[in-house]
Amino acid sequence: MGKAFESIKAGLTEAMAHAKRDPAAPRIVNCPACGKAIEWVAENRYRPFCSARCKGVDLGAWASDQYRIAAKEEPKPDPDAAE
């Protein structure tokens, strides 16, 4: 798996440990772009990213097809079979 997945996995592990220590404290997650630990709070306008830069880097990766969602190709119907 990629760097982003490992970052998210590490963030979830940290968040679960943090929640056990203090359930009322904000959840700590890792920025998917750079891995920096950040608080998951409404005041963070870039969530789940740490900054506008990381948010832009991720958007650019999607726009340049660095990320792709796997899909199965549906078989095209045979036009002769419908008649």
- Average pLDDT along the chain: 81
Strand locations in 1-83, DSSP E? Answer: 27-30, 37-40
Confidence band (pLDDT; 50, 70, 90) for 45? Answer: very high
Confidence band (pLDDT; 50, 70, 90) for 70? Answer: confident
pLDDT at 39: 92
pLDDT digits (tens, 9 = 90+) for 2-27: 666 676 666 666 656 655 667 778 89
Q: Is 70 exceeded by the pLDDT of residue 54?
A: yes
Domain at 3-63: CATH architecture: 2-Layer Sandwich (3.30)
Can you give the residue ranges of every domain in the chain?
3-63
53 Cβ contact list (under 8 Å, min separation 6) = none
